[in-house]
Structure 1
Amino acid sequence: MINVVAYIRVSTSGQGESGLGQDAQRDYIERAAQANGWNIIGEFVDVVSGKLALGDRPEGKKALAACKQHNAQLLVAKLDRLSRSVLHIAQLMEQVDFKVATMPQADKFQLHLFAALAQQEREFIAQRTKDALAALQRRADAGEAEAVAKVNRRTQALEKGRAVADITAANNVRMEKVTSFQVTVKPHVEACLYRKLTTLQAVADCLNAKGLRTSRGSEWNPTAVRRLMLALNLSFDKAV
């Protein structure tokens, strides 16, 4: 029986490119393993762009290490879960043997060929799209009303997409800062609770006495303490 390590990748939006989310990929993998007698010994999931080589992805690196450690092969639902780059696929073939659930009998030559054809088709589509947009822009520049309307709608959609991306990035940065702050202040809250304090105001006074401030630079009050304790899953009855 062949041991395999399952690897799943979804895009940063949480929706798998090509419509393959985590559950769908896992279903493909499990059915292929059952049909071919493969033994799944582990699973790794990345939420990352497919532009990165597998070894540059956090969980992808672990999946490769697991394959080497257990003399196992890598198993993915579709070839593009590994990469959309022929170069990355070719380099990966030098590092590990892998199988694709949707084409379980394909050998290395066939997989390389499929990757090359897929990349070529993407390049053709990109060029056709570029040419079509250039033609549309020329028609708009010439004053064709329908073309002008389409260009305006596309511009608005792109601007909206960029705005959403900017908001998402800003929120991610904010959450990272909040999490880092909470981790830093947690030992101090635990120390206050260790003193058998029983009210939110008492904990606030304890933190203020230590010279600590909230993430916004304010003094602690009962409301701020309550929010922090909820975020850290701390309570008075859990105090040691």
Structure 2
Amino acid sequence: MDVVGYVRVSTGKQEASGLGLEAQVEYIQTAARQQGWNVTHIYSEAISGSVAPSARPEFSKAIATGLPIIVAKIDRLSRDVEHIAGLMKRVAFKVATMPNADTMQLHLFAVLAEQERAFISQRTRDALKALQQRADDGCVLSQAKVKRRSDNASVARAAKKERAAQTIEVVKQNSHHTEIAPHVKSCLYEGVNTLQSLSDCLNAKGKHTSRGGLWSPTTVRRLMLALGVWFKK
């Protein structure tokens, strides 16, 4: 039976170091040999388990193959029972550490995985609270750790904000491209054959760039490349 593998770690740092990924691949390959499965491809990504499987780029590719998906452990799919239950309705998957588990058993292990996530979250909160208390009591080492966490959190928030801004800009540009495309084609139909003449044509039609400015040969060239059109030879 042909299958695809899926491995996941929660952070890019873990992905770069290979920690966790190699062990997962080994679990999958061992189970495949024992069960007579043919692993055609292994999809790998660094993404939080709190993200729904269907929203993960690499997992979506695995689903698109139409083949059963094998993971090392069920928590690599998700620690959320609702996620697991939803997947059971959409795709066949196998767990390397329990390859012969039936649906009821998989549900049970999903419940245990979700409970473990809750335990981990509580332990983390307790540890951070204790760290903050030691820092407040004057522990220099704890104060340094709190500061590093705060600085790292600030960097992460800034990066997230930048990614969100870039996403908004891409959506905005795509929408603008859809709006401006007919006017570009109209200008080309009218016989314009240079970047400058196309700029003049769009400006004469009162059509502006996505930022509200006038068209120039440089911005028109970028637009044509994005639209996949060029002057007739």
Contact 1:9 1:16 in 2 (8 A): no
CA RMSD of aligned residues (A): 4.4
CA shift digits 1:159-193 (9 cap, x unpaired)? 11111111111111111111211122122212222
Give the structure 2 partner of residue 111 of structure 1. Answer: 106
CA distance in 2, matches of 1:213, 1:170: 21
Cα distance change, pair 186–59 in 1 and its aligned pair in 2 (3 A) = farther
Cα distance change, pair 234–19 in 1 and its aligned pair in 2 (3 A) = farther
CA distance in 1, matches of 2:11, 2:171: 18
Identity of aligned residues (%): 49
Give the structure 1 partner of residue 150 of structure 2. Answer: 155
Give the structure 2 partner of residue 228 of structure 1. Answer: 223
Cα distance change, pair 61–162 in 1 and its aligned pair in 2 (3 A) = closer
Contact 1:10 1:16 in 2 (8 A): no
Contact 1:7 1:60 in 2 (8 A): no
Structure 1: gaps (5+ residues)? 68-72
Q: Kindly state the Cα deviation for residue 66 of structure 1 after the two structures are TM-superposed.
A: 9.4
Q: Map residues 85-100 of structure 1 onto 2, 5 A cutoff.
A: 85-90=80-85, 92-93=87-88, 97-100=92-95
The code of the aligned residue for 1:214 comes to T
Give the structure 2 partner of residue 174 of structure 1. Answer: 169
Cα distance change, pair 146–15 in 1 and its aligned pair in 2 (3 A) = closer
| 2:215 aligned counterpart, secondary structure | coil
CA distance in 1, matches of 2:51, 2:127: 29
CA distance in 2, matches of 1:62, 1:138: 45
Give the structure 2 partner of residue 137 of structure 1. Answer: 132
Q: Map residues 26-65 of structure 1 onto 2, 5 A cutoff.
A: 36=35, 50-51=49-50
CA shift digits 1:112-170 (9 cap, x unpaired)? 33323333332222222211111111111111222111111111111111111111111
Give the structure 2 partner of residue 205 of structure 1. Answer: 200
Cα distance change, pair 181–26 in 1 and its aligned pair in 2 (3 A) = farther
| 2:218 aligned counterpart, secondary structure | helix
Give the structure 1 partner of residue 69 of structure 2. Answer: 75
| 2:94 aligned counterpart, secondary structure | strand
Normalised by the length of structure 2, the TM-score is 0.71
Aligned partner of 1:188 among 175, 183, 186: 183
Structure 2: gaps (5+ residues)? none
CA distance in 1, matches of 2:7, 2:119: 25
Cα distance change, pair 33–148 in 1 and its aligned pair in 2 (3 A) = closer
Contact 1:8 1:76 in 2 (8 A): yes
CA shift digits 1:58-102 (9 cap, x unpaired)? 9989998997xxxxx742434345432123324544666532356
Contact 1:207 1:220 in 2 (8 A): yes
| 1:197 aligned counterpart, secondary structure | coil
Higher mean Cα deviation, 187-196 or 207-216?
A: 187-196
